[in-house]
Amino acid sequence: MTVLTSDVVTAAPPTSQRLLKELTHEKLAWMLQRMCEIRYFEEKAEDLYVRGLVHGTMHLSIGQEAGSVGSIATLRPEDLIIHHHRGHGHTIAKGANLTMMMAEFLGREPGYCRGRGGSMHIADIPGGNLGATGVVGGGIPTSVGIALALQMHRSEQILLSYFGDGASNEGEFHESLNMASTWKLPVVFICDNNQYGMSMHVSRSMNVQHISERAASYGIPGKTVDGNDVLAVYEAVLAAGEHARSGQGPTLIDCLSYRWRGHSKSDRNLYRTPQEIEEWKHKCPIRRFKQVLVDASVMTREEVEAFDLAAKAAVDRAAEEALTYPEPSPENMEDEVYAP
Amino acid sequence: MTANNNREITYLEAVREAMVQEMRLDKDVFLIGEDIGAYGGAFGVSKGMLEEFGPERIRETPISEAAIAGAATGAALMGMRPVMEIMFMDFLTISMNQLVNQAAKMRFMFGGKCSIPMVIRAPSGSGTGAAAQHSQSLEAWFVNVPGIKVVAPSTPYDAKGLLVTAIRDNNPVLFMEHKLLYRQKGPVPEESYCIPLKSAEVKREGRDLTIVAYSIMVPRAIEAAQKLAAEGIEVEVVDLRSLKPLDTDTIVRSVSKTGRVLIAHEAPVTGGFGGELAAVIAGSEAFDYLDAPIRRLAGRDVPIPYNRNLERAAVPQVEDIVTAARALAQEGK
């Protein structure tokens, strides 16, 4: 088992073994499938970008797939998520249609946001994905309202609210966690901590070692978890979700991982070394999960490797289909700004 | 109900009555803001509402204007109809990310697949001696954001009818309540009613010139018009009631009739909504009827000062409107 740093809580082998027994084969396969789909989807999107077919920019989460999949795997179908600019993983894990998603990247009318949102703003409202926010931390206050509505409607649903390490330095983070904890709202705050707010390392942007320590300010549980261990993420978020669902309020989970790519397409990685990036590539969450599954005889080596081919084929089909879709018309754009 | 139609209540009571009646009708309507419970709100607008609706729907918050706006936005996304009270309009500066980047944009950005039905109630304007950070009129910022509507009633009757409409609207609506209007009394029916947005009203008819105004400038323009009537100048006062959507037809009709227009608002003149109004008039068929240049009378380009005389001098008063309108009535003659 790869350990990130000596003081980070990792999924100890006994925990993984227990979860491997508790979770159905179907669930474990789902997790691996989603992780592979996210990886290939982002690689494909990057390829389309390089070929000039996707314009603007995009924020890839390659290397962070365990965080989105491990957390969303704990949800009931009717539960909700709200997330951020690096949100392709959450969107796919929540069950997005890959073709509609690729269509949105390509700015096509049948895309999730009908070509109005793009990579940074994908939402699938009927699917419980309440959208990605491009302003760092901007989704956190909105999640207070979503969770407030759930509480006022006496709903059993919960909300997972994702943001990055950089967002935890925003004023909105403080206001929102304070409010949500005061009202014991059914939300789990998950920090997708990839250790860099654009180019600034967390060690230079805050004076605490773990973002989870900030939970103490709000009187809520805080936990740092090895974000490259999908089962460790699952275990932590499942507990936090039960806490929220039972009316005990939010938890702050610091899901520590690393993005292999730059912040966005303009990033030339001038602030970190190739060695550092290489080291993290060796901690690939997908490869690691496959090994866990093989070691525990849940699947054979051939079976786990087959997920790559299936995911790649699914993504290729989605891209091929989406490329045939029409572009939206610039006429009557104003008609869609306001709801009738 | 005929007897009730003569009932007079204050602008503040009209705002409260609209909220109370909507909350009785629709359990998804709730009020959220600072000190709105036992305290009754900084200006007393929500006085007594806690007793009727309880703390869940009269939702008092910590002093956290970004999270208040986020809570309203998120609840609206979920289909509720939050009414968010900000203590002073100036404090919306702290809420702007949620209002401008989230509430206003989510519908469009997500392909028209959601709506954000919320009201932002904002006490605005100067005249209370509260100086630079508690006296602003920030409407121009909001009208420049696609996705937000802006309403600014000038009478108790309009305040009630427009607020009911705003609460039932499926979009974020900024509802400006001028602090000096809170104590003004006027006839307000007890039963609920709606005033559509984009329905400017001619508050006073006249043949010589038009004053286009909203909020506090409407009663000031009417008072100025009464003084000018004694000099034989008949002023027509158009009250916009909503800035966005804007009822251009009523403005153009009035200006085409009088041939002269004075635009009056309290916010600073540079970049103020008056510039937009002037452009709309200049670009309309009313241009052919103009006998004099379009004139603007607005706040001076200064933060609102504390000193009583300076504060009065910073924004148009009745006598300023009288002077400007008299001069305009003579221009080009």
pLDDT at B41: 97
Instruction: Give dist(CA B82, CA B99) in Å, integer.
Output: 13
pLDDT at A16: 81
Contact A145 B70 (CB under 8 A): yes
A contacts of B57 (beta carbons < 8 Å): 152
- Check CB contact of A338 with chain B, cutoff 8 Å: yes
ipTM computed for the complex: 0.96
Catalytic residue among B13, B34, B65, B266: B65
Closest CA to A89 of A126, A34, A44, A155: A34
In angstroms and rounded to an integer, the radius of gyration of the C-alpha atoms of chain B is 20
- Check CB contact of B71 with chain A, cutoff 8 Å: yes
Within 13 Å, how many C-alpha atoms sit on residue B165's CB side?
24
Which residues make Cβ contacts (< 8 Å) with residue B307, sequence separation at least 6? none
Over residues B45-58, the pLDDT tens digits come to 999 999 999 999 99
pLDDT at A110: 97
DSSP string, B75-123: HHHTT-EEEEEPSSGGGHHHHHIIIIIIITTHHHHTTT-----EEEEEE
Residue A105 in this model has a pLDDT that exceeds 50: yes
Indicate if the alpha-carbon torsion angle A164, A170, A176, A178 is positive or negative: positive
The residue count for chain A: 340
pLDDT at A9: 44
Within 13 Å, how many C-alpha atoms sit on residue A271's CB side?
13
| Residue B194 burial (C-beta neighbours within 10 Å; 0-12, 13-18, 19+) | middle
Which pair of structure tokens corresponds to residue A278? 């290489």
- Check CB contact of A149 with chain B, cutoff 8 Å: yes
Q: What angle do CA B187, B188, B190 make, to 5 degrees?
A: 140
Residue A184 in this model has a pLDDT that exceeds 60: yes
pLDDT at B5: 62
Instruction: Give dist(CA B190, CA B195) in Å, integer.
Output: 15
Domains within chain B, CATH numbers bracketed:
3-187 (3.40.50.970), 201-330 (3.40.50.920)
- Check CB contact of A11 with chain B, cutoff 8 Å: no
State the smallest CA–CA distance between residue B82 and chain A in angstroms: 10
**Domain coordinates of chain A in residue numbers?**
13-264+275-325
Over residues A59-81, the pLDDT tens digits come to 999 999 999 999 999 999 999 99
8 Å CB contact between B49 and B19? yes
Over residues A268-299, the pLDDT tens digits come to 889 999 999 999 999 999 999 999 999 999 99
Q: SS3 of A322, please?
A: helix
Which pair of structure tokens corresponds to residue A2? 């790869």
Contact B110 A121 (CB under 8 A): yes
Which pair of structure tokens corresponds to residue B128? 């209370």
Closest CA to B123 of B36, B51, B210: B36
Question: Given A114, A138, A148, which is nearest B71 (Cβ)?
Answer: A148
Over residues B149-163, the pLDDT tens digits come to 999 999 999 999 999
8 Å CB contact between B174 and B142? yes
Backbone angles phi, psi at B283, to 5 degrees: -90, 0
pLDDT at B240: 98
| Residue A328 DSSP label | P
pLDDT at A14: 66
Confidence class for position A11, pLDDT limits 50, 70, 90: very low
Which pair of structure tokens corresponds to residue A104? 């949105």
Strand-pair partners of A124: A129
pLDDT by 10-residue block (mean), chain B, 333 residues: 73 98 98 98 98 98 98 98 98 98 98 97 98 98 98 98 99 98 98 98 98 98 98 98 98 98 98 98 98 98 98 98 98 86
pLDDT at B4: 57
Confidence class for position A265, pLDDT limits 50, 70, 90: confident
Interface test with B, best of A91, A114, A122, A142 (most B CBs within 10 A): A142
pTM of the predicted protein model: 0.96
A contacts of B86 (beta carbons < 8 Å): none
Within 13 Å, how many C-alpha atoms sit on residue B36's CB side?
30
CATH class of the domain whose range is A13-264+275-325: alpha beta
Closest CA to B206 of B234, B227, B228: B234
